[in-house]
Amino acid sequence: MKRDFEPKITAFCCEHSGLPSADMAVESEFVYPEGVNIIKIPCSGKVEAIHIMRALEEGDGVAIFACHKEACQFLRGNLRTEAKVTYISKILREIGIEKERVQMYFLAPSNGVKFARTLRVFYKNLKDLGPNAGRKEL
């Protein structure tokens, strides 16, 4: 079953780092998995715990692409969301869902290579984990 399984990923992308990197990946034809739901956000700090939970209810994995630490345009947005991801990990552990389904990545604004490579690795890891057991029945 795992072989046919296509993980559904939501990627929250900060418009100062993740989003330009995603654009560069597309323009440069760096391959990343099809069907990733890219959501533009003004700062990774705008991602709330409930956004991550809802995205996970609808899919198999959530990736957050944020600016490098100490390079946040809003000073601490990326650090605050890193703490939210830790909080969500605890909730996921409590309910028996693999915490590896939620990942946060820090990258520069023009790193299409890293963006595409990271998503490929994340996709493969999710494929190995299998479908999210907590996901809504389709």
> What is the contact surface with another protein in residues (CB under 8 A)?
48-50, 53-54, 56-57, 91, 94-97, 132-137
Cβ distance to another protein smaller for residue 13 or 97? 97
The residue (of 91 and 113) whose beta carbon lies closer to another protein is 91
Question: Could you give phi then psi for residue 134, rounded to 5 degrees?
Answer: -90, -5
Residue 132 beta carbon to another protein: minimum distance, rounded to whole angstroms: 8
What is the spatial distance between Cα 71 and Cα 100, in angstroms, rounded to a whole number?
Answer: 25
As a whole number of angstroms, the distance between CA 108 and CA 16 comes to 8
Alpha-carbon distances, residue 118 vs 42, 79, 124 (angstroms): 21, 20, 10
In this complex, which beta carbon is closest to another protein, that of residue 46 or of residue 135?
135
Q: Rounded to the nearest whole angstrom, what is the least distance from the CB of residue 131 to another protein in the complex?
A: 11
